[in-house]
Amino acid sequence: MKQKILLVYTGGTIGMVRDKEKNTLVPFNFDGLLKAIPELKSEELDLENISIKNPIDSSNMHPNIWVEIAEIIENNYANYDGFVILHGTDTMAYTASAFSFMLENLNKAVIFTGSQIPIGSRRSDAKENLITAVEIAASRKVSEVCIYFEDQLYKANRTVKVNTEHFEAFESPNYPVLAEAGVNIKYKSVLQKKQNKELVVHKNCSDDVAILKLFPGIKLATIEAILNSAKGIVIESFGAGNASTDPEFTSLLSQGIQQAKIIMNISQCLHGEAVRGQYETNEPFEKAGVICGKDMTTEAAITKLMFLLGQEIGNDKIKQLFQTDLRGEVSK
């Protein structure tokens, strides 16, 4: 029986050509992408494609476009065995993380992929990424949102972009890869089990969020301005979740909590996690009642915050769910 896979083109380097007048890369017609990879045609595979209304460079990605892509999956969910989303690499980890929360009870593969070099270039990595992403989506062995790139299948909400120069653009710092592609595709035992529930697509994502990255010498006025700028704030702190013990800093955090803001603390470090109470410099967060995000990536933390703030639930429920592993985004 043929597997039906839907390719969803959003733009990005994988489908770009050079504009001769501006000498810049711009998205091109999606049908040209399929013509460039005849290997995708197979007797075992029924491959169809659709594009968002206005393909973009992924630096222009926005929650409104997330909803557009999610609706494509929702409207076609019953008709396909899996989905491959072609997306620019710059914000892929954000979009893929967001989709892990937006698509509840997922029991089919949603694989994000792209390339570092446009598909029309001689040395492009696009062909292998796309072909293998399609193979994985059709395998029936994956039932979650993932990123496939340069021989590795990553859990979407555990992935970060780490390189602009090499084909190994992504890394999963605190979680094992889900599969490795060599002569054969070797799947790991950490794959998410299939759900027997009906797919729920959450379309409300709040943009009332901010990221505060601490650095030595950051002004209290800067911290205050960022805390006042949004309902939900993700703080990227030092090391294992540490920050200045300045009482004025702690006071700002406490004021924010009293003003019903949701504040979460994660580590700036790629590997490891923010922990409670290990050092004296954890105390500012402990005293103020800031949520500890443990080993969540920035991409997962901010999109989880956007997702939860978009639901019609109170602050106490949001704080509870923030500290709950919803989609494998945080270690228990």
Q: Write out the catalytic residue numbers.
A: 13
For residue 249, give the nearest of 285, 207, 211 by alpha carbon: 285
Torsion on CA atoms 58, 4, 119, 8, rounded to nearest 10: -20
**Sequence-ordered list of residues with C-beta below 8 angstroms from that of 329, at least 6 positions apart, any chain:** 97, 100, 101, 157, 158, 296, 297, 300, 304
Take residue 101 and report the two structure tokens written for it.
């929360």
| Residue carrying the six token digits 């090499």 | 166
CA distance 315 to 231: 10
**Sequence-ordered list of residues with C-beta below 8 angstroms from that of 183, at least 6 positions apart, any chain:** none
Helix axes 298-309, 315-322, angle to 10 degrees: 150
Other beta carbons less than 10 A from residue 61's beta carbon: 22
Q: Measure Cα distances from 309 to 150, 306, 329 in Å.
A: 34, 5, 17
CA distance 46 to 243: 53
> Could you say which DSSP state residue 2 is in?
P
